[in-house]
């Protein structure tokens, strides 16, 4: 029975299925890279391009691992990119040929770190919200007390501003700490994946 020849359309379809769990920005960039590769090769060299790129599954796994390594180079710009980098690291661990038990253990560990960071973010949100609400109530009370007891009013007003400032500082510090943690997780995974080597896709 004659083996069916894979077409560009089928290759891209299989690749997209393998990469669909990537963050949207990374998915689009990877798909664009392969589209451009086929465009440059042209219809007459389509089969050669498919041979050069390798099978869709292996190509997708390598892309995910390359992205995990790339994320070790810079600290994430924001929290969304930070969590995206950790997610890519998780996918990379599952895609890497390091043995299923080790991959699952590493994935669970990364997931736990992610949950800790997310919990810290939620705690920060609650803390800042509580500080803002307390400060608003305190400022209102301080203004009212100024007319009945100026000393107490000014003290309440000042204390409310202090609570507001401390809440904001705690929020800023927690966000910074989360970014550092996310960066550390993604860098750790990237270093582990980097040892694998293989083909690199410049996406």
Looking at the whole model, is its pTM more than 0.75? no
Nearest CA to 136 out of 110, 157, 106 is that of 157
190 pLDDT tier (thresholds 50, 70, 90): low
Average pLDDT over residues 176-198: 68
Give the rounded percent of residues in the chain with a pLDDT score beyond 90.
Answer: 2
Residue 139 has pLDDT above 70, yes or no: yes
44 pLDDT tier (thresholds 50, 70, 90): confident
DSSP string, 141-161: HHHHHHHH-HHHHHHHHHHHH
Greater confidence (177 vs 74) lies with 177
Greater confidence (159 vs 65) lies with 159
Nearest CA to 23 out of 87, 110, 66, 71 is that of 87
Give the C-alpha separation, 58 to 171, whole Å.
Answer: 42
Residue-range domain boundaries for the chain: 8-194
Residue 16 has pLDDT above 50, yes or no: yes
Average pLDDT over residues 42-52: 85
Residue 195 has pLDDT above 60, yes or no: no
| Those residues with Cβ within 8 angstroms of residue 62's Cβ, 6 or more apart along the chain or in another chain | 54, 198, 199, 200, 201
Average pLDDT over residues 32-36: 90
Give the C-alpha separation, 195 to 166, whole Å.
Answer: 44
Both tokens of residue 8? 């560009």
Model pLDDT for residues 142-158, shown as the tens digit of each residue? 888 878 888 887 888 88
Of the given ranges (1-5, 69-73, 149-153, 156-160), which has the lowest mean pLDDT? 1-5
């Amino acid at each position: 029975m004659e083996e069916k020849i894979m077409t560009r359309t089928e290759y891209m379809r299989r690749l997209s299925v393998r990469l669909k769990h990537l963050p949207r920005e990374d998915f689009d960039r990877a798909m664009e890279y392969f589209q451009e590769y086929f465009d440059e090769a042209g219809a007459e060299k389509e089969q050669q391009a498919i041979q050069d790129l390798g099978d869709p599954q292996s190509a997708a796994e390598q892309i995910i691992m390359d992205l995990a390594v790339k994320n070790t180079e810079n600290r994430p710009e924001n929290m969304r990119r930070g969590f995206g980098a950790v997610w890519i690291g998780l996918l990379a661990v599952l895609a890497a040929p390091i043995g299923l038990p080790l991959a699952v253990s590493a994935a669970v560990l990364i997931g736990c770190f992610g949950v800790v960071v997310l919990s810290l973010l939620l705690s920060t949100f609650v803390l800042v919200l509580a500080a803002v609400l307390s400060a608003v109530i305190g400022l209102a009370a301080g203004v009212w007390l100024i007319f009945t007891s100026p000393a107490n009013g000014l003290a309440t007003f000042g204390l409310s501003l202090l609570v507001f400032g401390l809440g904001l500082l705690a929020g800023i510090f927690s966000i910074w700490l989360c970014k550092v943690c996310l960066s550390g997780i993604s860098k750790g995974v990237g270093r582990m994946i980097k040892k694998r080597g293989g083909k690199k896709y410049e996406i």
